[in-house]
Amino acid sequence: MWTLVWALKSFLYSFGKVIIGGVKREMQVRSQEGATNFDKIGGVAMMGGLMAAAFLPLAMVGLELREIAKAGIVGRIAGSRRKRSLLPIRPNGLWRVPRRDV
């Protein structure tokens, strides 16, 4: 278990240092080149937009996998007789209304 945690921690650290740090350095270079302030802001905004377009879908998939894993763990807790869904969404994508079992 701790090996997995350590590997994920190392991955996140290196991802931040290499990928995010590289984009940050590239944005600093783009802010220094260009004839006008509009050109400089455009270069920086383009780098930020490209990074967001690339990493937001990955972040969404990661968050969804975390929620699915939490829902799977709840069903396996000792003493749990029925599976409880942490997600208020049905598999067809519609919101469900929580109701009490009477």
C-alpha–C-alpha distance, residues 88 and 94, integer Å: 9
Confidence of residue 102 (pLDDT cuts 50, 70, 90): low
In this predicted structure, the answer to whether residue 18 has a pLDDT above a threshold of 70 is yes
**For the chain, the helix, strand and coil percentages under 3-state DSSP, each to the nearest 5:** 70, 0, 30
- At 51-97, the pLDDT tens digits run 889 888 888 888 888 888 777 776 666 555 555 555 555 555 555 55
Backbone angles phi, psi at 92, to 5 degrees: -85, 0
Domain ranges of the chain: 35-60
Determine the longest span between alpha carbons in the chain, in angstroms. Answer: 71
Q: How far is Cα 69 from Cα 99, in angstroms, rounded to an integer?
A: 23
